[in-house]
Structure 1
Amino acid sequence: MGTQPDHYAILGVPPTASAREIARAHRALIRQHHPDTRKKTHDGGASEALDLQQLHAVMQAYVVLSDPGKRAAYDRGRTRGSGTPVSVRIHRTTAVPAPGRQQQPLSFGPTRWTPLRRTHPRRPT
Structure 2
Amino acid sequence: MTTETQKTERAERAKARRKELQTLSGIAKKRMEADLEGYTVNEALIQMYREANPKIKEFKTLKEWNKLGFSISKGETAFLVWGRPNQAQEEQEQAEPQTQEDNEEIFYPVCYLFSNLQVKERENGKD
TM (norm. structure 2) is 0.24
Specify which structure has the bigger relative contact order, considering alpha-carbon pairs within 8 angstroms and separated by 6 or more residues: 2
Structure with the higher helix share, 1 or 2 = 2
Structure with the higher strand share, 1 or 2 = 2
